[in-house]
Structure 1
């Protein structure tokens, strides 16, 4: 069989994957916190028909002769560039301006306000900042997962545990609060029933040296992986290179439609070209079969 036919098949498979990724990007062009994907390709191992030879006393060197065997998918990357801002004026719509991700968890008790150990919780990370209040006053995402932050004591100070680390807890705003706000450093303030200003806590962020190494888990969530490079414990916003929080706005998808349409056309033409390779190879085989006639 002709090697060109198998090379064409490998090209078709690769461009099909590219079209799948481009289609997913376009489908999520309006998804809050979505990070677009990108496909890169690599050539397959080539078949060597003649090895390279070094120069001798009587003749010069000769280069190797190789025939490529097609292409393969090199990587499918998640590009964590900043998405555009959409102003909503909803105080629980939080946008991250810079590096870092919100931390959400499930499996907590509804009234849990004491220190939480991250290794004991089902924790996920997200850039989608559309949060809500449940019936108990907890700040949750659309799936009911708790937004984690640093607890505050009765004096409004962020609590430290015995080892000096900040106490992590689910953020809660009392049901009798008259109003609340979120500052750029993540501190959640509210006005109690008596008209006094109180501190509910401070939003916690996770920072990663390689956010592209995070694994998408659906529902705008990411999971930590050994290659994501989570930098130590959770940190407060505007500290250690983490983002500033903008209340009343959402970070939308970083998908550029004009770029995606261009990539879609390129993938479509590449797919068509590889089908033409298979058609041409088939015609050559047909000619060979007909030689006997």
Structure 2
């Protein structure tokens, strides 16, 4: 059976045609070379069947990458790692704040700002030169859930209320950030209203996944060596980036990690951070 005759089941329940190009692209993003990519594709292709879930395909490719080199597996699991920032949205807010901070912005998280009508709690406030961003972060633990048009509508009204009050020093940009995707209506409204929309796959060329890969700002949850408990401990200490753990590696001492394992973890996060 040809690859283009295989239909796979997405997390949303939608059946879509299997795309070899998408699999190859995601494997390339992990840093794997063409020889390894081709060998993984050969294995996955042999195991395809009608109705196979995208999760099964991901798990197989992930296992093959991890067996070869853990750094490849870590980058490959980026999307899943973003979901692991949950179940609350606060670590995701800190993650977005950290992305902006490492891009040269002065960042504040969860601050109150007065509007003409009411006071608003703003997830992320970021300043750099003349750029003054206020961002609302929408975290979804269910990857099948998208941000619909109600989200930018709501955030646009908050942004306008703040602008109406903050006349002397007004924000220059209103952002809507999500770890999933926007519906078409949400994207169209956001563009029309002048909001900046940032999601896993939007905007093309500067999406969340592309920013992370380009800057080497991977969340701590991409680690294949840290346990879930250890990741949650680090997140509770506001360590959301691999790069932050390099600077604050003393937190590993609190976890009772052996010297050898500590060495391997720091080697992994250094490689992910492009150090």
Give the structure-1-normalised TM-score. Answer: 0.20
Q: Which has the higher helix share?
A: 2
Q: Which structure has the greater CA radius of gyration?
A: 1
TM-score by length of 2: 0.21
Is the strand fraction higher in 1 or 2? 1
